[in-house]
Amino acid sequence: MKPEDLHYAKTHEWVSISEVGGAKVATVGISAFAVEALTDLVFIELPKVGAQVEAEQPFCEVESVKAVSDVYAPVTGEVIEVNTALPDSLEILSTDPYIKGWIAKIRITDESNLGNLLDFAAYEKQCAEEGH
């Protein structure tokens, strides 16, 4: 997936939405900008398959050497799959954040917040403003 084709939450998660058997499924990860800002990631606590998550609420944690950070669910729904390869090879988040670095797939149950997601251009603008 190319970063240009993804949508983004203000909290730096990326989202790719596809149709699977009539349901909308969001594949979710964290943006290259966020991974670079975090640096030195050492741990991820993946969400549980089956968990109900709510848009803009924490659903996963990543830890760097320095601190723990929440990852926010960009959509509301049920976690149907998690990337079990991540905990033992966190470097994927930096080397391939948008393909192999996906964190979870969420079956969307409420589409009302999808309009809050940013397109690539709007997200890039936000990152430029945040600098770091």
Residues forming the site for another protein (CB under 8 A): 39-40, 42-43, 45, 61, 63-68, 87, 132
Q: CA 19, CA 50: separation in Å to the nearest integer? A: 19
Name the minimum Å distance from CB 132 to another protein: 6
- For another protein, give the closer residue by CB, 61 or 78: 61
Closest approach of another protein to the CB of residue 46, in Å: 12
Residue 56: CB minimum distance to another protein, A? 20
Nearer to another protein, 94 or 109 (CB): 94
b/e map 83-120, b = 16+ CB within 10 Å: beebeeebebbeeebbeebbbbbbbbeeeebbeebbee
